[in-house]
Amino acid sequence: MRIDIVTIFPEFFDVLDLSLLGKARQSGLIDLGVHNLRDSTIDRHHSVDDTPYGGGAGMVMKAEPWGAALDAILGSDAPAAAPAAQAEGGPILIFPSPAGDQFTQAMARELSLEQHLVFGCGRYEGIDQRVVDHYSQRGRVRLVSLGDYVLNGGEVAVMAMIEAIGRLIPGVVGNPASLVEESHEDGLLEYPSYTKPASWRGLEVPPVLLSGNHGAISTWRRQQQIERTERVRPDLLPRTI
Ligand code: ADE
């Protein structure tokens, strides 16, 4: 998968050299390009923001540098496409925004099947709306929210999305079985896990896990998932059981 990120803080993404995603980049499973938005400015001060039309607090990111940066990645002068053509393939441009669709495991799985993701990290009070409108007429654009809270910018949200999406690309996680039995994959939270020693500070591993009875272990784990989900995230239950 090719991933491009446009940001005014490219250093944020240095950590994508590490861990499983770093290995995935080395092995060519993920091809990452991080672009500094300021490189797409043409004024002496490399300004990326200005005051909002209509007044109000804060600054708004200017359309021109965004247009130049995104044209360099997506190709410029593309005419507005018919909706059917937009739906078919091509890169997906994602703007993290608290005003977007909620990011979920299902969305991560869907996006992990794409060939090319482009992330645009907004800062301040957001990006001039015409940037979203322009690229929405030419291809697939999504506003995606990490949750109902406000971050200072899109960078942290993009990091989280790339980690959630990247680990679902076949080959990125060494043992694919570990992807199956984790929270949200089957709509439930995951069961608790234990390792040696069997007794620690007076706390014992549940005996069923030491029994060697795989049927009983599966049943216990499923019960634990349901109980945990009922307790912590009852909102998830009606959709799954
Ligand atoms: N940018 C600012 N807040 C955000 C959020 N909650 N999700 C995604 N992007 C954001």
CA of 15 to the centre of ligand 1 (A): 20
Quote the CA–CA distance of 138 and 140 in Å, as a whole number: 7
Task: Report whether 150 belongs to an annotated binding site.
Answer: yes
C-alpha distances in angstroms, 123 versus 40, 58, 159, 185, 228? 16, 10, 15, 32, 37
> Tokens representing 228?
């945990």
Task: Report whether 146 belongs to an annotated binding site.
Answer: yes
Alpha-carbon dihedral angle through residues 143, 77, 113, 26, given to the nearest 10 degrees: -100
Per-residue pLDDT, averaged over 38-58, amounts to 96
pLDDT of residue 176: 82
pLDDT of residue 181: 76
| Reported confidence tier of residue 17, pLDDT bands at 50, 70, 90 | very high
pLDDT of residue 48: 97
Contact 99 CB / ligand 1 (< 6 Å): no
* Ligand 1 atom having least distance to the Cα of 122: 1
| Reported confidence tier of residue 87, pLDDT bands at 50, 70, 90 | low
CA of 48 to the centre of ligand 1 (A): 19
Contact 160 CB / ligand 1 (< 6 Å): no
The answer to whether 229 and 237 have CB atoms below 8 angstroms apart is yes
Task: Report whether 122 belongs to an annotated binding site.
Answer: yes
ipTM of the complex as predicted: 0.96
pLDDT of residue 107: 98
As a whole number of Å, the CA-based R_g of the chain is 22
Task: Report whether 148 belongs to an annotated binding site.
Answer: yes
Domains delineated in the chain = 1-165 (3.40.1280.10), 180-234 (1.10.1270.20)
CA of 7 to the centre of ligand 1 (A): 14
Say yes or no to pLDDT of 239 above 90. Answer: no
Q: Each residue of 176-205: pLDDT tens digit? A: 887 877 888 888 999 999 999 999 999 999
Task: Report whether 20 belongs to an annotated binding site.
Answer: no
pLDDT of residue 24: 94
- Which position has the token pair 């499923």? 222
The answer to whether 162 and 108 have CB atoms below 8 angstroms apart is no
Say yes or no to pLDDT of 85 above 80. Answer: no
Q: Each residue of 98-150: pLDDT tens digit? A: 999 999 999 999 999 999 999 999 987 899 999 999 999 999 999 999 999 99
Per-residue pLDDT, averaged over 199-217, amounts to 98
* Ligand 1 atom having least distance to the Cα of 96: 9
Per-residue pLDDT, averaged over 81-95, amounts to 80
Pocket test for ligand 1, best of 7, 97, 107, 159 (most atoms within 8 A of CB): 97
Protein residue with its CA nearest to atom 6 in ligand 1: 98
From 111-125, 168-182, 199-213, 222-236, the region with the lowest mean pLDDT:
168-182
C-alpha distances in angstroms, 223 versus 90, 130, 210, 226, 235? 43, 50, 17, 5, 17
CA of 146 to the centre of ligand 1 (A): 6
Pocket test for ligand 1, best of 103, 145, 156 (most atoms within 8 A of CB): 145
What percent of the chain lies above the pLDDT cut of 70?
A: 95
